[in-house]
Amino acid sequence: MKKNIRIQGRILKAAAFAIVVLCATITVYAQDAKTRYDFRIEGGKLGKAVADVHDQTNIEFIYSFDLADVDGIHPVKGYYTLEYALAVMFEGTGLSGGLTESGMIVITREKSAHAQIREQDMIHGKIKKGLLSTISALLFGVGGAHAQQSSVDQNTEAQEPAFDEIIVTATKRAQSLQDVPFGLSALTGANLERIGASGAEDYLAEIPGVHYNAQGRGTSPIVIRGISTEGATRNNLQNSTTIYIDDLPSLNAWGAWSNSDFSTFDLERVEVLRGPQGTLFGSGALGGAVRVITNKPDLSEFAAKIEYGHAFTHDGEDSYNLSAMVNVPIISDKLAIRAVGYKREDGGYIDNVRRDEKDVNSGSSEGGRLLLAYQATDRLSLRFTLTHEENSLDDSPASYALEAEGDAYEYNGTIPNASDIKLTSYNLYAEYEFDGFMVSSSTTYAERDSLLNTDYVSYIDSLLGGALGFDADAPTAYIDPDDHDYLIRHKYDTFAQELRLSSTHDGPFQWTIGGFYLKQNLTAYQLWASEPFGPVLESNYDVHVTETALFGEASYKFSDKFSVTIGARAFDNKFEFERIDQPSVFVPAGGAVTPYTVANSSSINPKFSVSYFPSEDIHLYATAAKGFRIGQVNFVQDEDVEAGITREFDPDSLWNYEAGIKASLFDNRLSLNAALFYIDWSDIQLQRFVTGPASGLLLNITDNAGKAEIKGLEADLKWRPTAGIEIGSAITVLDAKLKSVLDGVPMIPGSTLPGSADFSASNFIEFSSDKLPNDMRGYMRLGHRYVGESVSNINNAPQLYSDKYNVFNARAGLMYGGYEIIVYVDNLTNNDARTSNFGVDAQNLFASRSYRLQPRTIGVTMRADF
C-alpha cells in the first residue's frame, strides 16, 4: 500500500511539473540552459573563476563579496552548458549557483536554492523532447528520496552533455560537424591525446572509410573509400588523397613518393573529409582530404605544455619523444606568440640478415612551429606561421612475407630503403570582418626536400640479365650495398594564394566564394647505379605545375527542416615537363630526352547537397560531388611517340553519390553518423610497362585506360550510457572493383582496387571518472581494430594480398590539476599480421615482401599543462 501511495505521489508530482513545463516555455533563460560555451576555466579562487566565466559568456554574476576568496573552484575545459560548468566548478565547495529569470547567475552558500534552479533548468531542458519524455525523466529522476539527494553527482549525470559539439571548417566556414552534408570526421586535440595519437597512423585508424598503409613516417600512402590504383607502392601520379597543413596543400602534384605526417602535438583538430573535395580543395582531393589544423596563439592568457614519452618494443629498440609549447601574450588581447617544438625517435624492430644488422628501420621526426597573431582592430586580425618538420627513416619496415623465407621481422634487403623528408612553410593569414561577411586571405610559400633510397638490386639484376649475380634464393648472400644505389631526390617550392569571402550573418542564405592560385616548381634527380657497370640509368627532371581556380558554395535554408547547397570550382591546370637522361647502361651516348611538353586541362567541378532535419537532432542528407587529379606527361622519346605511344594523358575524375544520416539521440548520449555511397570513376590513370616500338626501351607509361565502380557503407557510432562510460565503433563496408579497361591493357575487369578491405572496424570502450580521491581524474580505454584482406596492386597477384587481422590496444591515464601520466600497451597480443604485401620490383619478378603490425609496444607518457 505504501509503495502504491509513493508511486501515485510521484505521478501526481510529475503531472504537476508537466503543467509547469507547458506554461514555462516563455522563460527568458530556457534557451540559455541549452547553449554550450567553449569554457577555459582554470579554477582556484571564486573571484577569478567568475571573471573567466563572465569573459567567456557575457553573463553577469551576483554574489556576496566575502565569497570572492573562496578557494577550491574546479577547472572546466570544453564545450558545456552553463548549468553543467557551474555544477563542476562548485562541486564540494559548499557553493551553489544558477541562472535566474533575470538572466544573471546568483551564487550562494545555500544548496537548496541551487537545487531549485537546477530542477527548473532540467524541466526546461525537456521541453522539446515532449511531455512524455519529461514526465518519464521526472518519475525516475525527481521525487521521493531522490529529491532529497541534491548532490551534484546525480544532477550532472542527468544533465551532462554526452558529446561536445565540434566546430569544423571543412566547408571553409565555421559549422557544426553534424550539419555538414557529407562524410566528415573530426578529432579535437583532446581526442588525439586521449587515443594516444602521435601521427597519421594513430588517428586515421579511428576514422571509417580510410586505409592507411604503414611504411614508415612520411612515406605511407592514405587511401579513402578505396580510390587508388597503387595501394602500397610509389608512382609519379598525383595522390588521390590530399593533405592540408592549415591552408597549405602539402604534397607534390608530381612524383608524390612521400607524404606529410605532422606531429599531433598541440593541434586544434584533424578533419578527415571523405569523398571528392574538388569544389573547395581542388586537384588531388579525388578520394578526400586530411586537414591538420594547428592551435593558434591565445591573445589573452599565458599557457605552456610539456610532454615526454618512452616506449619499449618487443625485440626492438626503445622509442622516445619530447615536445613543448609556450603561448605568451605580448600585448593583452592584441598581440601574442606561440612556439611549439618536438622531437621523436622511433626504435626499429626489423633485422636485416643479409647485412647482419639489427633493428634497421629506426626513424626520427623533429620540427616545430612559430605563430604570431595580431588583433589590429575589432575587425582586422593577422597571423604569421612558420612551420618546419623533418621525417627520417634509416630503412623500411619491410619483412619476409612467408615463414619459409625467414622470421616475421627479418628481411634480406641489399640497399637501405632510407628516406629524409623536410618541409618548411611560411604562411600569412589575414581576416577582415565586414557587416554580414568576412574576407580571408591566405598566402603561403613552402619548400619540400625529399631524398629516398629504394632497394631495386634484384630489379636491376633482372634488367641486366643476371649480370650482378643476385640470387633471390640465397637470402643471406652478401652484396656490398656501397656498390649499388637507387635514389631519387625531389626538391620543390610552392607558392599558394587563396582569397575568400564568406557570409557571417544569421540569415537563411549562406555563401562562400573565392579564388585560388598555386605555382609549384619541382626538380628531381634519379640514379640507378650498380658496380661494375656504373650508372644504369641517370635522369634529371624539371616540372612546373600551375593551378588557377574560382570556386563558390552557397546554401539556402528554406525552413528549419530543409536546406540546399550548391557549389562549383572552375579550374585551369598547366603541367610543364622535361626529362634529360645522362649517358648510362640503358641510354646511348648523348642522352635520351623527353622534350619540354605542356599538358593543359580545365573543367568545372560541381557539387550538390540536400539536407533535411526531421528534428533538431537528426540530419538526413544527400550529396553528389565531383573530384579530379591533374593530367601529366609520359617519359617517352619522340620516336616512340611517332610509333603510337601516348605522351600526354588527361585528368581522371569521379562522381561520388552519397546519402547519410547524422543523429544525436537520447539526450545526446548516442551519436550516429552513417553514409551509403556509390562512386563512378572514369578515365582512370593506369600505369603499365610496354616496350618502346622504336627505342626498344622498357617504358612505364600511363594513360586514361579504365573505369571503376565503388560501393560502400560507413558508420561511426558513439554511445555514453552513463557519465563515466563511452563506447564507440567505426565501421566500413567496401566493394571497389575495376569495371573495364581499354583494349590491350593487361588488367582484368573485376579486379579489386588496392587499399580497399571489404570490411574493417575500429572499436573502443572507455571508463572515466572526475571524482577520484584527492581531486584526481582518470580513465581506462581498450581499443580494438579489425581490418579485412586487401591487395596492394591493381593486378591482384596472389602474393600481393594482406592478412585479415585483429589488433588490441590498452591505455590508462591519471590526471591531477594540469598534470597527467598515461601508461599504454599497443598490439596487446603481439600479432605479427601482414598489413600489406608488395613486390620487390616493378614487375613482381620475385617473391613479395610484407609490412607488418609493429610488435607489442609498452610505453608511458607524462604531460604537464600550465
Radius of gyration of the chain (CA): 30
pLDDT lower than 70: segments of the chain: 1-34, 65-66, 79, 101-102, 110-162, 231-234, 472-473, 589-591, 840-847
Cα separation, 325 vs 865, in Å, equals 9
pLDDT for position 83: 80
SS3 428: strand
Which pLDDT value is given to residue 144? 35
Alpha-carbon gap, residue 840 to 396, rounded angstroms? 12
CA-to-CA distance for 408 and 217, rounded, in angstroms?
A: 21
What grid cell was written down for 768? 572515466
Cα three-residue angle 737-227-713, rounded to 5 degrees = 75
Enumerate the β-bridge partners of residue 346: 363
Give the Cα separation of 666 and 663 in Å (integer): 10
DSSP assignment of 162-212, as one string? SS---EE-TTSS-EEGGG-SS-EEEEEHHHHHHHT--SHHHHHTTSTTEEE
Q: If DSSP codes are grouped into helix, strand and coil, which group holds residue 384?
A: strand
Distance CA 190, CA 777 (A): 15
For residue 600, list its beta bridge partners. Answer: 574
Q: Give the relative orientation of helices 111-125 and 82-90 as an angle to the nearest 10 degrees.
A: 150
Contact 186, 718 (CB under 8 A): no
Q: Could you tell me the maximum CA-CA distance found in the chain, to the nearest angstrom? A: 107
Scanning the structure block, which residue is given the C-alpha cell 647505379?
Answer: 529
pLDDT of residue 22: 34
Q: What's the pLDDT score for residue 843?
A: 46
Helices (H) and strands (E) in the chain, counts: 13, 43
| One-letter amino acid for residue 542 of the chain | D
Cα–Cα distance between 59 and 843 in angstroms, integer?
A: 69
Whole-angstrom distance, CA of residue 160 vs CA of residue 623: 33
HEC-encoded secondary structure of 102-158: CCCEEEECCHHHHHHHHHHHHHHHCHHHCHHHHHHHHHHHCCHHHHHCCCHHHHHHH
CA–CA separation, 403 and 425 (whole Å): 45
Q: Which triple of cell numbers denotes residue 419?
A: 628516406
The single residue listed with the C-alpha cell 594480398 is: 801
pLDDT for 30 equals: 40
Report strand pairing: 670-691 vs 509-530: unpaired
Asked: is 2-159 a CATH 3.30.2130.10 domain? The reply is no
Give one DSSP letter per residue of 37-55, joined into a string. EEEEE--BSHHHHHHHHHH
What is the separation of C-alpha 266 from the centre of its chain, rounded to a whole number of angstroms? 14
The pLDDT of residue 11 is 39
pLDDT of residue 129: 42
Cell numbers of 298, please?
591565445
- Closest by Cα among 705, 704, 652, 654 to 677: 654
Question: Please, what CATH class does the domain formed by 167-288 belong to?
Answer: mainly beta
- 3-state SS assignment for residue 160: coil
217, 316, 416 from 361: Cα distances, Å: 11, 10, 9
Q: Report the length, in residues, of the chain.
A: 866
812 in Cβ contact with 824 (< 8 Å): yes
Nearest one of 655, 675, 658, 656 to 622, comparing CA atoms: 658
Residue 522 CA to its chain's centroid (Å)? 27
Query: What are the structural domain ranges in the chain?
Result: 2-159, 167-288, 289-865
In angstroms, the CA 566 to CA 171 distance is 12
Picking from 290, 287, 283, 289, the residue whose alpha carbon sits closest to that of residue 654 is: 287
The amino acid that residue 509 corresponds to is: F
Q: What is d(CA 810, CA 805) in angstroms, rounded to the nearest whole number?
A: 17
3-state secondary structure 706-747: EEEEEEEEEEEEEEEEECCEEEEEEEEEEEEEEEEECCCCCC
Cross-strand partners of 672: 663, 717
Could you tell me if 804 and 760 are in contact, meaning their C-beta atoms sit under 8 angstroms apart? no
The contacts of residue 109 (CB under 8 Å, 6+ apart) are 67, 94, 95, 96
Show the 3-state SS of 518-570.
EEEEEEEEEEEEECCCEEEEEEEEEEEEEEEEEEEEEEEECCCCEEEEEEEEE
Task: Kindly give, in sequence order, each residue whose CB lies less than 8 Å from that of residue 791, ignoring residues fewer than 6 positions away.
Answer: 231, 752, 754, 800, 801, 802
The number of beta carbons lying within 10 Å of the beta carbon of residue 15 is 13
Residues 6+ apart with CB under 8 A from 226: 211, 287, 710, 712, 734, 736, 753, 755, 756
Is the backbone peptide bond immediately before 532 cis, with ω within 30 degrees of 0? yes
Q: Which three cell numbers stand for residue 530?
A: 650498380
C-alpha cell at 474: 640465397
Whether pTM > 0.85 for this model: the answer is no
Rounded CA gap, 431 and 172, in Å? Answer: 13
Per CATH, the number for 289-865 is 2.40.170.20
In this predicted structure, what is the pLDDT of residue 147?
Answer: 34
Q: Which amino acid is at 310?
A: H
Rounded to whole angstroms, what are the CA distances from 288 to 225, 246, 349, 688? 8, 16, 32, 25
Q: Alpha-carbon distance 206 to 525, whole Å?
A: 37
Give, as one character, the DSSP assignment of residue 298.
Answer: P
* pLDDT value of residue 567: 95
Q: Provide the CA 433 distance to its chain's centre, in angstroms.
A: 29
Q: Which of 72, 174, 85 is nearest to 121 (CA)?
A: 85
